[in-house]
Structure 1
């Protein structure tokens, strides 16, 4: 059976992620797995077995605290725990192979360190990854990046599902003022702004149409912006509770990382961000 996974390390950022994950698990009627990864902080050629045992026990204690908090937040929720050693990113990706969703905490916008778990996990996970940066208000807005790609369709699927589960509004945003975002790679569109609006507007409406049919009770709007995808989504994220993007959009070329727009959202968006792999659509 699938489950929701949350990374927990006892920090305020991970506690915020835990609260979001409990909500996801309850809405989706899935069990929650709380995962903590402990690490021996010294070179591998220096092993103090007593010290390792102490650090492991500290990890177990911290994990038990996270499980207790999850059970307090969701009294009827089935909660499991997983303790790993090593690096948090690979451990969460491994756990996520049979998961519905991975939830992790994040630093504040502009403070994401190189090699952060919040950057590494979305690049390699097989399921959607929610990087929690803020608490969710009652009246929420989901912003979804659209560009006509398979990745954007997967993002729309996840975004509409979230909006339906939570009773939130949704806005689909297409920032088309970038060569990689032009439908079919047709750069001649940039010579005629009216034609660009017509063609890209049609792509946007076609992408959203089937999800409006599937989720007729979700209040959904569209927004075509003559801006780069990065600029359009970061601007829209100012009003969002959750911003959703495909792991790689129409212009992405490096299959080992998330696309440039998704990377920018993870680093700079003021709200919680979900990155959705194409395989999740």
Structure 2
């Protein structure tokens, strides 16, 4: 059954994620699943069964607190709980197989360590992953990275859905100043900015056009920027509520890795970031 899955560990970051997930479940009319993953903190060669029981019960109490908090935030919302043991991101990947999306928390500021769940999960999950750094404002803006690729189209689908659900403006941004952005690999376009703007602007408008038709009530702004995708999106993210990117853009080659722009945003963006896999990934 479809649901919204949120990882909860009791920290401030996971409470922000819980609030976002509660809003998401309420807006989508879906049940919410709160998941806590506990683990024995010592080497497997040292097993104290009484200690393991204590650690597991601590996890159960923490999970119950998260469920209670979610029900306080949205009375009447269907909330279920899942307690798992082991490593966090594989557990959330597995639990999220039938979810509409997965929500996790992150630090409000500062670069994420390479091994953090907020980086590993978006690289492996088959569902959109929202990494929450700030609370969702009442009036906000969704920024979506566009480059004409299937991954960017998946990001547009998710971004328009978010804008429609939350009543936010959508800003589609195409940073085209890199070799991979040239249509058909025509690098000569970089010798004439007008031709580059025309060619890449056409890609941008064609990519957004079907979603304008599907969501006619969403206010949309398109922006072509003669800068790298990373620079363009970081600039657009200032003051945004949410930035949405595909797992990999037009230059992605690794089948199970984040693109460089997606990873940079997850590590350094001040706002919440959603990473969306394309269909079939």
- Structure 1 residue 147 corresponds to structure 2 residue 142: no
* Residue in structure 1 matched with residue 47 of structure 2 by the alignment: 47
C-alpha offsets along residues 144-195 of structure 1, whole Å, 9 cap, x if unaligned? 0000000000000000000000000000000000112222222121111110
TM-score of the pair, normalised by structure 2:
0.98
SS at match of 1:278: coil
Q: Which runs of 5+ in 1 are unaligned?
A: none
* Residue in structure 2 matched with residue 164 of structure 1 by the alignment: 164
TM-score of the pair, normalised by structure 1:
0.98
* Residue in structure 1 matched with residue 214 of structure 2 by the alignment: 214
- 1:228 deviates by 0.3
* Residue in structure 2 matched with residue 247 of structure 1 by the alignment: 247
**Residues in 2 aligned to 1:64 and 1:109: alpha-carbon distance in whole angstroms:** 28
RMSD: 1.1
After TM superposition, the structure 1 stretch with the greater mean CA deviation from structure 2, 103-112 or 224-233, is 103-112
* Residue in structure 1 matched with residue 119 of structure 2 by the alignment: 119
Q: Which runs of 5+ in 2 are unaligned?
A: none
* Residue in structure 2 matched with residue 227 of structure 1 by the alignment: 227
* Residue in structure 2 matched with residue 56 of structure 1 by the alignment: 56
- 1:280 deviates by 7.6
SS at match of 2:279: helix
* Residue in structure 2 matched with residue 108 of structure 1 by the alignment: 108
Contact 2:13 2:108 in 1 (8 A): no
**Residues in 2 aligned to 1:109 and 1:155: alpha-carbon distance in whole angstroms:** 24
C-alpha offsets along residues 45-90 of structure 1, whole Å, 9 cap, x if unaligned? 1100000000000000000000000111111110010111111000
* Residue in structure 2 matched with residue 81 of structure 1 by the alignment: 81
* Residue in structure 2 matched with residue 30 of structure 1 by the alignment: 30
- Structure 1 residue 203 corresponds to structure 2 residue 203: yes
- Structure 1 residue 19 corresponds to structure 2 residue 19: yes
Contact 1:128 1:280 in 2 (8 A): no
After TM superposition, the structure 1 stretch with the greater mean CA deviation from structure 2, 185-194 or 156-165, is 185-194
Contact 1:148 1:183 in 2 (8 A): no
**Residues in 2 aligned to 1:197 and 1:122: alpha-carbon distance in whole angstroms:** 32
Contact 1:123 1:247 in 2 (8 A): yes
Contact 1:122 1:258 in 2 (8 A): yes
**Residues in 2 aligned to 1:39 and 1:150: alpha-carbon distance in whole angstroms:** 37
- 1:108 deviates by 3.0
